Structure 1
Amino acid sequence: MKRVLVWDWPIRVFHWLMVVLFLGMIITGKSEEDYLELHIDLGYVFSGVLVARIIYGFLGSYHGQFKQGLSSFKKIRLYTMVVFKSLKAHKNDDQRTKRLGHNPLGWVMVFALITLLSMQLISGLFFTDDIFWYGPFYDYASDDVLELLAQLHRILPDVLIALVILHISAVLLHEVRFKEKLIIAMIHGHKPIGVTSDVPLVKTPRVGVVMSLGVSLVWLIWLFSLPS
Protein backbone atom coordinates (compact mmCIF):
# COMPACT_ATOMS: atom_id res chain seq x y z
CA MET A 1 0.00 0.00 0.00
CA LYS A 2 1.06 3.58 -0.60
CA ARG A 3 -0.46 6.90 0.37
CA VAL A 4 -1.49 9.55 -2.14
CA LEU A 5 -2.72 13.11 -1.73
CA VAL A 6 -6.48 13.37 -2.23
CA TRP A 7 -7.53 16.55 -0.40
CA ASP A 8 -5.09 19.43 -0.89
CA TRP A 9 -4.71 22.14 1.74
CA PRO A 10 -7.39 24.57 0.41
CA ILE A 11 -10.05 21.84 0.48
CA ARG A 12 -9.09 20.85 4.02
CA VAL A 13 -8.92 24.43 5.29
CA PHE A 14 -12.28 25.34 3.75
CA HIS A 15 -13.85 22.18 5.18
CA TRP A 16 -12.73 22.67 8.78
CA LEU A 17 -13.38 26.42 8.73
CA MET A 18 -16.96 25.71 7.69
CA VAL A 19 -17.30 23.12 10.45
CA VAL A 20 -16.18 25.60 13.13
CA LEU A 21 -18.14 28.54 11.72
CA PHE A 22 -21.32 26.49 11.26
CA LEU A 23 -21.13 25.32 14.86
CA GLY A 24 -20.62 28.90 16.00
CA MET A 25 -23.57 30.16 13.97
CA ILE A 26 -25.88 27.46 15.31
CA ILE A 27 -24.87 28.16 18.92
CA THR A 28 -25.18 31.95 18.61
CA GLY A 29 -28.36 31.72 16.54
CA LYS A 30 -30.23 29.41 18.89
CA SER A 31 -28.89 30.76 22.18
CA GLU A 32 -31.23 32.71 24.46
CA GLU A 33 -28.35 35.11 25.14
CA ASP A 34 -27.83 38.18 22.97
CA TYR A 35 -25.19 36.99 20.50
CA LEU A 36 -26.74 38.68 17.46
CA GLU A 37 -23.68 40.75 16.53
CA LEU A 38 -21.37 37.74 16.83
CA HIS A 39 -23.86 35.62 14.86
CA ILE A 40 -23.86 38.18 12.05
CA ASP A 41 -20.06 38.38 11.96
CA LEU A 42 -19.78 34.59 11.86
CA GLY A 43 -22.31 34.48 9.04
CA TYR A 44 -20.37 37.05 7.04
CA VAL A 45 -17.10 35.14 7.49
CA PHE A 46 -18.84 31.87 6.63
CA SER A 47 -20.15 33.41 3.42
CA GLY A 48 -16.58 34.33 2.47
CA VAL A 49 -15.38 30.77 3.04
CA LEU A 50 -18.35 29.41 1.07
CA VAL A 51 -17.62 31.76 -1.84
CA ALA A 52 -14.01 30.56 -1.84
CA ARG A 53 -15.09 26.89 -1.77
CA ILE A 54 -17.55 27.35 -4.62
CA ILE A 55 -14.93 29.03 -6.81
CA TYR A 56 -12.39 26.33 -5.88
CA GLY A 57 -14.99 23.77 -6.92
CA PHE A 58 -14.51 25.01 -10.49
CA LEU A 59 -10.83 25.96 -10.46
CA GLY A 60 -9.41 23.75 -7.72
CA SER A 61 -7.77 20.37 -7.33
CA TYR A 62 -9.06 17.20 -9.00
CA HIS A 63 -11.14 15.50 -6.28
CA GLY A 64 -12.74 18.73 -5.10
CA GLN A 65 -14.01 19.82 -8.51
CA PHE A 66 -17.76 19.90 -8.95
CA LYS A 67 -17.50 18.20 -12.33
CA GLN A 68 -16.36 15.06 -10.52
CA GLY A 69 -19.57 15.16 -8.52
CA LEU A 70 -21.74 15.72 -11.56
CA SER A 71 -20.12 12.80 -13.38
CA SER A 72 -20.73 10.53 -10.37
CA PHE A 73 -24.48 11.16 -10.22
CA LYS A 74 -25.20 8.44 -12.78
CA LYS A 75 -23.60 5.97 -10.36
CA ILE A 76 -25.76 6.86 -7.34
CA ARG A 77 -28.21 3.99 -7.71
CA LEU A 78 -25.48 1.39 -8.29
CA TYR A 79 -23.37 2.68 -5.38
CA THR A 80 -26.37 2.72 -3.03
CA MET A 81 -27.11 -0.91 -3.91
CA VAL A 82 -23.46 -1.83 -3.22
CA VAL A 83 -23.59 -0.20 0.22
CA PHE A 84 -26.81 -1.94 1.23
CA LYS A 85 -25.62 -5.31 -0.06
CA SER A 86 -22.38 -4.90 1.86
CA LEU A 87 -24.27 -4.04 5.05
CA LYS A 88 -26.63 -6.97 4.56
CA ALA A 89 -23.73 -9.35 4.00
CA HIS A 90 -21.92 -7.97 7.09
CA LYS A 91 -18.80 -7.17 5.08
CA ASN A 92 -16.56 -4.95 7.19
CA ASP A 93 -13.96 -4.12 4.56
CA ASP A 94 -15.78 -4.10 1.24
CA GLN A 95 -13.53 -2.34 -1.27
CA ARG A 96 -16.52 -1.63 -3.51
CA THR A 97 -17.81 0.94 -0.99
CA LYS A 98 -14.56 2.93 -1.08
CA ARG A 99 -13.69 5.80 -3.35
CA LEU A 100 -10.53 7.84 -3.49
CA GLY A 101 -12.48 11.11 -3.45
CA HIS A 102 -16.13 11.59 -2.54
CA ASN A 103 -18.39 8.65 -3.31
CA PRO A 104 -21.61 9.38 -5.28
CA LEU A 105 -23.73 9.75 -2.13
CA GLY A 106 -21.06 11.96 -0.61
CA TRP A 107 -21.32 14.28 -3.59
CA VAL A 108 -25.09 14.48 -3.14
CA MET A 109 -24.45 15.69 0.41
CA VAL A 110 -21.83 18.20 -0.78
CA PHE A 111 -24.23 19.78 -3.27
CA ALA A 112 -27.14 19.72 -0.82
CA LEU A 113 -25.14 21.42 1.94
CA ILE A 114 -23.64 24.06 -0.36
CA THR A 115 -27.08 24.86 -1.81
CA LEU A 116 -28.88 25.11 1.54
CA LEU A 117 -26.03 26.99 3.21
CA SER A 118 -26.07 29.49 0.36
CA MET A 119 -29.82 29.93 0.79
CA GLN A 120 -29.40 30.42 4.53
CA LEU A 121 -26.64 33.00 4.14
CA ILE A 122 -28.49 34.91 1.39
CA SER A 123 -31.70 35.00 3.42
CA GLY A 124 -29.70 36.34 6.38
CA LEU A 125 -28.69 39.38 4.34
CA PHE A 126 -32.38 40.37 4.22
CA PHE A 127 -33.20 39.42 7.81
CA THR A 128 -34.15 41.75 10.66
CA ASP A 129 -34.81 41.34 14.37
CA ASP A 130 -37.33 44.21 14.08
CA ILE A 131 -35.51 46.05 16.87
CA PHE A 132 -31.86 46.92 16.33
CA TRP A 133 -30.55 45.14 13.26
CA TYR A 134 -31.59 45.17 9.62
CA GLY A 135 -29.79 43.09 7.01
CA PRO A 136 -27.79 45.08 4.44
CA PHE A 137 -30.23 44.11 1.67
CA TYR A 138 -33.38 44.60 3.75
CA ASP A 139 -34.49 47.71 1.83
CA TYR A 140 -34.17 46.01 -1.56
CA ALA A 141 -37.01 43.50 -1.25
CA SER A 142 -40.78 43.69 -0.94
CA ASP A 143 -42.58 42.82 2.29
CA ASP A 144 -43.75 39.49 0.85
CA VAL A 145 -40.23 38.52 -0.18
CA LEU A 146 -38.84 39.62 3.19
CA GLU A 147 -41.38 37.48 5.02
CA LEU A 148 -40.56 34.47 2.83
CA LEU A 149 -36.82 34.91 3.39
CA ALA A 150 -37.36 35.38 7.13
CA GLN A 151 -39.27 32.10 7.34
CA LEU A 152 -36.56 30.42 5.31
CA HIS A 153 -33.87 31.76 7.64
CA ARG A 154 -35.73 30.34 10.67
CA ILE A 155 -36.44 26.93 9.15
CA LEU A 156 -33.20 26.11 7.34
CA PRO A 157 -30.95 25.78 10.44
CA ASP A 158 -32.91 22.73 11.61
CA VAL A 159 -32.78 21.23 8.11
CA LEU A 160 -29.03 21.86 7.98
CA ILE A 161 -28.52 20.32 11.42
CA ALA A 162 -30.39 17.20 10.26
CA LEU A 163 -28.20 17.00 7.15
CA VAL A 164 -25.04 17.45 9.20
CA ILE A 165 -26.12 14.65 11.54
CA LEU A 166 -26.79 12.43 8.52
CA HIS A 167 -23.38 13.37 7.09
CA ILE A 168 -21.58 12.56 10.34
CA SER A 169 -23.48 9.26 10.62
CA ALA A 170 -22.42 8.28 7.09
CA VAL A 171 -18.79 9.16 7.87
CA LEU A 172 -18.90 7.06 11.04
CA LEU A 173 -20.45 4.18 9.08
CA HIS A 174 -17.52 4.23 6.68
CA GLU A 175 -15.05 4.62 9.53
CA VAL A 176 -16.39 1.77 11.69
CA ARG A 177 -18.06 -0.63 9.29
CA PHE A 178 -16.10 -0.20 6.08
CA LYS A 179 -12.74 0.62 7.73
CA GLU A 180 -12.31 3.74 5.60
CA LYS A 181 -10.43 6.47 7.47
CA LEU A 182 -12.27 9.52 6.20
CA ILE A 183 -11.77 11.86 9.16
CA ILE A 184 -7.98 11.58 9.34
CA ALA A 185 -7.83 11.88 5.53
CA MET A 186 -9.57 15.25 5.78
CA ILE A 187 -6.89 16.30 8.29
CA HIS A 188 -3.67 15.28 6.51
CA GLY A 189 -5.16 14.92 3.03
CA HIS A 190 -3.86 11.45 2.17
CA LYS A 191 -5.50 8.08 1.54
CA PRO A 192 -3.97 4.61 1.10
CA ILE A 193 -4.16 2.84 -2.27
CA GLY A 194 -2.68 -0.25 -3.85
CA VAL A 195 0.92 0.09 -5.01
CA THR A 196 0.00 -0.62 -8.63
CA SER A 197 -3.09 1.61 -8.67
CA ASP A 198 -3.14 4.35 -11.29
CA VAL A 199 -4.72 7.49 -9.81
CA PRO A 200 -4.84 11.17 -10.84
CA LEU A 201 -2.04 13.31 -9.49
CA VAL A 202 -3.50 15.93 -7.18
CA LYS A 203 -1.95 19.37 -7.48
CA THR A 204 -2.98 22.67 -5.93
CA PRO A 205 -3.61 25.03 -8.87
CA ARG A 206 -2.24 28.49 -8.18
CA VAL A 207 -4.96 30.15 -10.25
CA GLY A 208 -7.66 28.40 -8.24
CA VAL A 209 -6.15 29.49 -4.93
CA VAL A 210 -5.63 33.10 -6.02
CA MET A 211 -9.10 33.42 -7.55
CA SER A 212 -10.97 31.77 -4.69
CA LEU A 213 -9.16 33.66 -1.93
CA GLY A 214 -9.09 36.93 -3.88
CA VAL A 215 -12.80 37.00 -4.70
CA SER A 216 -13.63 35.88 -1.16
CA LEU A 217 -11.55 38.68 0.33
CA VAL A 218 -13.15 41.31 -1.91
CA TRP A 219 -16.60 39.96 -0.99
CA LEU A 220 -15.84 40.14 2.73
CA ILE A 221 -14.41 43.66 2.56
CA TRP A 222 -17.50 44.84 0.67
CA LEU A 223 -19.89 42.97 2.99
CA PHE A 224 -18.40 44.31 6.21
CA SER A 225 -18.40 47.84 4.75
CA LEU A 226 -22.19 47.79 4.21
CA PRO A 227 -24.43 49.65 6.69
CA SER A 228 -26.74 47.43 8.71
Structure 2
Amino acid sequence: MAVIVRVWDAPTRLFHWTLSLCVVGLFVTSQVGGAAMDWHFRFGYGVLTLLLFRFVWGVYGGHWSRFSTFVVGPRKIWRYLQGQGKPQDSVGHNPLGALSVVTMLALLSLQVASGLISDDEIAAAGPLVRFVSSTWIGNATFYHTEIGKFILLGLVALHLGAIAFYYFRKHDDLIISMITGDKSVPIQAPSTHDGAPERRRAGLIFLACAALVSSLVIGLNG
Protein backbone atom coordinates (compact mmCIF):
# COMPACT_ATOMS: atom_id res chain seq x y z
CA MET A 1 0.00 0.00 0.00
CA ALA A 2 1.43 3.34 -1.08
CA VAL A 3 1.99 6.09 1.49
CA ILE A 4 2.13 9.82 0.78
CA VAL A 5 5.23 11.35 2.37
CA ARG A 6 6.48 14.95 2.39
CA VAL A 7 9.92 14.35 0.96
CA TRP A 8 11.12 17.69 -0.39
CA ASP A 9 10.83 20.71 1.89
CA ALA A 10 9.98 24.11 0.42
CA PRO A 11 13.56 25.47 0.60
CA THR A 12 14.89 22.48 -1.35
CA ARG A 13 12.17 22.84 -3.97
CA LEU A 14 12.77 26.57 -4.32
CA PHE A 15 16.50 25.94 -4.60
CA HIS A 16 15.95 23.37 -7.35
CA TRP A 17 13.75 25.53 -9.56
CA THR A 18 15.73 28.74 -9.00
CA LEU A 19 18.96 26.95 -9.84
CA SER A 20 17.36 25.56 -13.00
CA LEU A 21 16.37 29.07 -14.12
CA CYS A 22 19.84 30.43 -13.35
CA VAL A 23 21.52 27.66 -15.36
CA VAL A 24 19.26 28.40 -18.33
CA GLY A 25 20.08 32.09 -17.94
CA LEU A 26 23.80 31.35 -17.85
CA PHE A 27 23.65 29.31 -21.03
CA VAL A 28 21.53 31.85 -22.94
CA THR A 29 23.69 34.83 -21.93
CA SER A 30 26.89 32.94 -22.80
CA GLN A 31 25.56 32.40 -26.32
CA VAL A 32 24.42 36.00 -26.78
CA GLY A 33 27.59 37.60 -25.44
CA GLY A 34 28.15 41.35 -25.58
CA ALA A 35 26.08 43.35 -23.10
CA ALA A 36 24.40 40.12 -21.96
CA MET A 37 27.63 39.17 -20.18
CA ASP A 38 26.66 41.52 -17.35
CA TRP A 39 23.66 39.25 -16.78
CA HIS A 40 25.90 36.22 -17.22
CA PHE A 41 27.89 37.34 -14.20
CA ARG A 42 24.73 38.08 -12.23
CA PHE A 43 23.42 34.58 -12.92
CA GLY A 44 26.82 33.20 -11.97
CA TYR A 45 26.77 35.00 -8.62
CA GLY A 46 23.24 33.71 -8.15
CA VAL A 47 24.39 30.14 -8.74
CA LEU A 48 27.27 30.65 -6.30
CA THR A 49 24.82 31.86 -3.65
CA LEU A 50 22.51 28.91 -4.29
CA LEU A 51 25.35 26.41 -4.11
CA LEU A 52 26.56 27.80 -0.80
CA PHE A 53 23.01 27.57 0.50
CA ARG A 54 22.63 23.96 -0.68
CA PHE A 55 25.87 22.85 0.95
CA VAL A 56 24.72 24.29 4.27
CA TRP A 57 21.17 23.00 3.81
CA GLY A 58 22.61 19.58 3.06
CA VAL A 59 23.73 19.50 6.69
CA TYR A 60 20.97 21.42 8.49
CA GLY A 61 18.01 21.02 6.13
CA GLY A 62 15.05 18.66 5.99
CA HIS A 63 15.57 14.95 6.53
CA TRP A 64 15.55 13.87 2.89
CA SER A 65 17.59 16.89 1.77
CA ARG A 66 20.54 16.08 4.01
CA PHE A 67 23.62 14.59 2.39
CA SER A 68 23.83 12.04 5.20
CA THR A 69 20.44 10.68 4.09
CA PHE A 70 21.09 10.10 0.40
CA VAL A 71 24.83 10.11 -0.36
CA VAL A 72 25.98 6.49 -0.59
CA GLY A 73 29.07 4.59 -1.68
CA PRO A 74 29.76 2.84 -5.00
CA ARG A 75 28.75 -0.59 -3.66
CA LYS A 76 25.21 0.55 -2.93
CA ILE A 77 24.98 2.27 -6.32
CA TRP A 78 26.11 -0.94 -8.02
CA ARG A 79 23.54 -3.02 -6.13
CA TYR A 80 20.83 -0.56 -7.17
CA LEU A 81 21.88 -0.81 -10.82
CA GLN A 82 21.62 -4.61 -10.55
CA GLY A 83 18.05 -4.31 -9.34
CA GLN A 84 18.93 -5.17 -5.74
CA GLY A 85 17.91 -1.85 -4.22
CA LYS A 86 15.84 -1.65 -1.05
CA PRO A 87 12.35 -0.09 -0.79
CA GLN A 88 13.68 2.87 1.20
CA ASP A 89 15.91 3.72 -1.78
CA SER A 90 12.82 5.00 -3.59
CA VAL A 91 11.79 7.55 -0.97
CA GLY A 92 14.25 10.41 -1.48
CA HIS A 93 17.04 10.41 -4.01
CA ASN A 94 17.75 6.83 -5.08
CA PRO A 95 21.48 5.89 -5.20
CA LEU A 96 21.76 6.76 -8.89
CA GLY A 97 19.90 10.04 -8.40
CA ALA A 98 22.14 10.87 -5.44
CA LEU A 99 25.19 10.36 -7.64
CA SER A 100 23.65 12.71 -10.19
CA VAL A 101 22.98 15.37 -7.55
CA VAL A 102 26.50 15.22 -6.12
CA THR A 103 28.02 15.30 -9.60
CA MET A 104 25.88 18.27 -10.62
CA LEU A 105 26.77 20.24 -7.50
CA ALA A 106 30.47 19.49 -7.96
CA LEU A 107 30.52 20.42 -11.65
CA LEU A 108 28.50 23.60 -11.08
CA SER A 109 30.95 24.57 -8.35
CA LEU A 110 33.85 23.98 -10.72
CA GLN A 111 32.12 25.96 -13.47
CA VAL A 112 31.52 28.92 -11.16
CA ALA A 113 35.08 28.76 -9.79
CA SER A 114 36.57 28.70 -13.30
CA GLY A 115 34.31 31.59 -14.31
CA LEU A 116 35.66 33.72 -11.49
CA ILE A 117 39.16 33.53 -12.99
CA SER A 118 38.24 33.49 -16.70
CA ASP A 119 39.04 36.24 -19.19
CA ASP A 120 37.82 36.39 -22.79
CA GLU A 121 40.37 39.17 -23.48
CA ILE A 122 37.63 41.25 -25.08
CA ALA A 123 35.15 42.64 -22.59
CA ALA A 124 34.48 40.09 -19.83
CA ALA A 125 36.85 39.06 -17.06
CA GLY A 126 36.15 37.31 -13.79
CA PRO A 127 36.63 39.29 -10.57
CA LEU A 128 39.53 37.10 -9.39
CA VAL A 129 41.72 37.28 -12.51
CA ARG A 130 44.10 39.78 -10.94
CA PHE A 131 44.95 37.32 -8.20
CA VAL A 132 46.10 34.41 -10.40
CA SER A 133 48.72 33.81 -13.06
CA SER A 134 48.09 33.98 -16.80
CA THR A 135 48.49 30.20 -16.99
CA TRP A 136 45.66 29.68 -14.50
CA ILE A 137 43.54 32.24 -16.35
CA GLY A 138 44.10 30.52 -19.68
CA ASN A 139 43.33 27.06 -18.34
CA ALA A 140 40.25 28.27 -16.45
CA THR A 141 38.93 30.13 -19.49
CA PHE A 142 39.40 27.11 -21.73
CA TYR A 143 37.67 24.81 -19.27
CA HIS A 144 34.84 27.27 -18.61
CA THR A 145 34.02 27.91 -22.27
CA GLU A 146 35.08 24.73 -24.06
CA ILE A 147 34.72 21.87 -21.59
CA GLY A 148 32.72 22.57 -18.45
CA LYS A 149 29.77 24.13 -20.23
CA PHE A 150 29.27 21.10 -22.47
CA ILE A 151 29.76 18.60 -19.64
CA LEU A 152 26.99 20.38 -17.73
CA LEU A 153 24.73 20.39 -20.78
CA GLY A 154 25.28 16.65 -21.12
CA LEU A 155 24.49 16.11 -17.45
CA VAL A 156 21.32 18.18 -17.77
CA ALA A 157 20.30 16.06 -20.78
CA LEU A 158 20.87 12.88 -18.74
CA HIS A 159 18.84 14.38 -15.90
CA LEU A 160 15.92 15.11 -18.21
CA GLY A 161 16.23 11.65 -19.75
CA ALA A 162 16.09 10.06 -16.30
CA ILE A 163 12.95 12.07 -15.46
CA ALA A 164 11.31 10.84 -18.67
CA PHE A 165 12.38 7.25 -17.96
CA TYR A 166 10.89 7.25 -14.46
CA TYR A 167 7.70 8.87 -15.72
CA PHE A 168 7.02 6.54 -18.67
CA ARG A 169 8.57 3.29 -17.44
CA LYS A 170 8.08 3.43 -13.68
CA HIS A 171 5.09 5.81 -13.53
CA ASP A 172 6.96 7.98 -11.03
CA ASP A 173 6.40 11.70 -11.69
CA LEU A 174 9.53 13.29 -10.26
CA ILE A 175 8.56 16.76 -11.49
CA ILE A 176 5.30 16.82 -9.55
CA SER A 177 7.15 15.61 -6.45
CA MET A 178 9.59 18.50 -6.75
CA ILE A 179 6.69 20.94 -7.16
CA THR A 180 4.43 19.73 -4.33
CA GLY A 181 7.09 18.17 -2.12
CA ASP A 182 4.99 15.02 -1.66
CA LYS A 183 5.73 11.58 -3.00
CA SER A 184 3.89 8.26 -3.04
CA VAL A 185 6.24 5.60 -1.62
CA PRO A 186 5.78 1.85 -1.02
CA ILE A 187 6.79 1.88 2.67
CA GLN A 188 6.21 3.84 5.85
CA ALA A 189 8.82 6.59 5.90
CA PRO A 190 9.38 9.75 7.94
CA SER A 191 8.13 13.00 6.43
CA THR A 192 10.57 15.87 6.36
CA HIS A 193 9.81 18.84 8.60
CA ASP A 194 8.53 21.62 6.36
CA GLY A 195 6.96 24.17 8.65
CA ALA A 196 7.51 27.84 9.39
CA PRO A 197 10.56 27.29 11.67
CA GLU A 198 12.40 25.33 8.97
CA ARG A 199 11.55 27.91 6.33
CA ARG A 200 12.72 30.77 8.55
CA ARG A 201 15.97 28.93 9.17
CA ALA A 202 16.41 28.39 5.44
CA GLY A 203 15.71 32.07 4.78
CA LEU A 204 18.36 33.15 7.27
CA ILE A 205 20.89 30.73 5.78
CA PHE A 206 20.16 32.00 2.27
CA LEU A 207 20.45 35.65 3.34
CA ALA A 208 23.81 34.89 4.97
CA CYS A 209 25.03 33.21 1.78
CA ALA A 210 23.77 36.09 -0.36
CA ALA A 211 25.45 38.62 1.94
CA LEU A 212 28.72 36.70 1.72
CA VAL A 213 28.65 36.61 -2.09
CA SER A 214 27.56 40.26 -2.29
CA SER A 215 30.38 41.39 -0.01
CA LEU A 216 32.83 39.39 -2.10
CA VAL A 217 31.61 40.94 -5.36
CA ILE A 218 31.47 44.48 -3.97
CA GLY A 219 34.87 44.11 -2.36
CA LEU A 220 36.49 42.85 -5.55
CA ASN A 221 34.83 45.35 -7.85
CA GLY A 222 35.02 48.30 -5.46
TM-score of the aligned structures, taking structure 1 as reference length: 0.86
Structure 1 runs (4+) greater than 4 angstroms displaced: 95-98
Is 2:214 aligned against 1:221? yes
Gaps of 5+ in 2: none
Question: What residue number does 2:100 align with?
Answer: 109
Question: What residue number does 2:189 align with?
Answer: 199
| SS of residue in 2 equivalent to 1:133 | coil
**Is the 2:104–2:155 Cα contact (8 Å) retained in structure 1?**
yes
Matches within 5 A, 1:65-214: 65-71=66-72, 73-82=74-83, 99-154=90-145, 155-194=147-186, 197-204=187-194, 205=198, 209-210=202-203, 212-214=205-207
Q: Deviations over 1:120-140 (max 9, x none)?
A: 001111112213332111111
Shift of 1:33: 5.4
Is 2:57 aligned against 1:64? no
Letter in 1 for 2:56: I
| SS of residue in 2 equivalent to 1:3 | strand
Moved more, 107-116 or 126-135: 126-135
CA distance in 1, matches of 2:28, 2:120: 17
Shift of 1:171: 1.0
CA distance in 1, matches of 2:206, 2:33: 34
Number of equivalences: 216
**Is the 2:120–2:141 Cα contact (8 Å) retained in structure 1?**
no
Gaps of 5+ in 1: 84-94
CA distance in 2, matches of 1:97, 1:169: 23
Question: What residue number does 1:91 align with?
Answer: none
CA distance in 2, matches of 1:173, 1:211: 37
**Is the 2:71–2:99 Cα contact (8 Å) retained in structure 1?**
no
| SS of residue in 2 equivalent to 1:179 | coil
Shift of 1:207: 8.0
Q: Percent identity?
A: 28
CA distance in 2, matches of 1:33, 1:102: 39
Question: What residue number does 1:39 align with?
Answer: 40
Letter in 1 for 2:221: P
CA distance in 1, matches of 2:62, 2:143: 33
| SS of residue in 2 equivalent to 1:17 | helix
**Is the 1:124–1:135 Cα contact (8 Å) retained in structure 2?**
yes
Question: What residue number does 1:22 align with?
Answer: 23
Letter in 2 for 1:227: N
